Amino acid sequence: ISFNSVDSSLSSLKNCQSYINTGMDIATHVALDLVESFNDVEDVNSVENVMLEYAAMDRELNHYMTAIEETVNQIKREKPENIPDLKYLVNEKFTALESKNTDSDLQKNEKYMYFKDQLKEMRKQFCHQSDNDNDAIEQIDEDIAVTQSQMNFICPITQVEMKRPVRNKVCGHTYEEDAILKIIQARKQQKKKVRCPKIGCSHADVKESDLVPDEALKRAIDSQNKQ
């Protein structure tokens, strides 16, 4: 049995998935723009609903691709004499996977988690709180707040203000992208692990795969510099 057409279909589905990922990236940037400009909670919530719709599409695509791959592997393994009904077998596996769907699946989507995380950081950086949080806000000396904020802008490696901050998903600390990548590369050649450069952090295995762009922090730095 030739699976060339199946491989072609899988390739097309993966292209669709890349479009979904791009859409989620754009939606994240739009939400951050909203928070930075006027923090319209209703509009931000609408973008979050769009993110959840994207996450649902991504999950459906993943399940369909898994169903195809499992069916192909099953046929290759069993080597039936007669050509089986591929469409029926794929749909059967796809339906079984979809039947296990829960809302929490969508919350665990990597790009949705990044979206929520960056929104939280963005609101923190720009001191935007929802109306429900107003009662809990304490008055802080403005000079101290600015100084603490500016300290967060400094890379623990270069000791200068960051231009392209990335955050470690494991310990939450931020570094200048080029600086931390150079350390990771150097240690990799020595076959050694990288300890988080932030003083006091116990995380002893910083990986490139754990680093994500900290768009919220970059915007805060840019905003401070404009002022």
The range of the structural domain enclosing residue 73 comes to 3-126
Are 104 and 190 found together in one domain?
A: no
Residue-level pLDDT at 4: 80
Are 117 and 183 found together in one domain?
A: no
Are 116 and 184 found together in one domain?
A: no
Q: How far apart are CA 109 and CA 115, in angstroms?
A: 10
- Residue 182 in any domain: the answer is yes
- Per residue in 179-219, pLDDT (tens digit) is 999 999 999 999 999 999 999 999 999 999 999 999 999 99
- Residue 133 in any domain: the answer is no
Give the global pTM.
Answer: 0.76
- Residue 216 in any domain: the answer is yes
Closest CA to 220 of 124, 139, 115, 111: 124
Are 10 and 106 found together in one domain?
A: yes
Are 23 and 90 found together in one domain?
A: yes
- Residue 134 in any domain: the answer is no
* Domain count within the chain: 2
- Residue 150 in any domain: the answer is no
Residue-level pLDDT at 111: 95
The vertex-10 CA angle with 85 and 18, nearest 5°, equals: 150
Strand order in the sheet with 165-168: 174-176, 165-168, 211-213
Residue-level pLDDT at 99: 95
With bands split at pLDDT 50, 70 and 90, how would you rate the model's confidence at 224? confident
Q: How far apart are CA 178 and CA 184, in angstroms?
A: 10
Q: Which of 66, 97, 126 is the last residue of a domain?
A: 126
Residue-level pLDDT at 137: 42
Are 117 and 192 found together in one domain?
A: no
- Residue 203 in any domain: the answer is yes
- Residue 173 in any domain: the answer is yes
Q: How far apart are CA 154 and CA 209, in angstroms?
A: 22
- Per residue in 140-172, pLDDT (tens digit) is 444 444 445 556 899 999 999 999 999 999 999
Q: What is the DSSP letter of 139?
A: P
Q: What are phi and psi of 226, to 5 degrees?
A: -65, -35
Are 115 and 172 found together in one domain?
A: no
- Per residue in 99-137, pLDDT (tens digit) is 999 989 999 999 999 999 999 888 887 764 444 444 444
C-alpha neighbours within 13 Å on the C-beta side of residue 92:
7
Residue-level pLDDT at 3: 75
Residue-level pLDDT at 143: 45
Q: How far apart are CA 172 and CA 212, in angstroms?
A: 10
Q: Which residue has the higher pLDDT, 174 or 138?
A: 174
Are 104 and 200 found together in one domain?
A: no
Are 7 and 58 found together in one domain?
A: yes
- Residue 142 in any domain: the answer is no
Are 8 and 118 found together in one domain?
A: yes
Q: Which of 77, 108, 126 is the last residue of a domain?
A: 126
Q: Which of 8-17, 74-83, 144-153 has the highest mean pLDDT?
A: 8-17
Query: In one letter, which amino acid is 69?
Result: E
Are 13 and 74 found together in one domain?
A: yes
- Per residue in 19-69, pLDDT (tens digit) is 999 999 999 999 999 988 876 788 899 999 999 999 999 999 999 999 999
Residue-level pLDDT at 217: 93
CATH value at residue 188: 3.30.40.10
Residue-level pLDDT at 6: 84
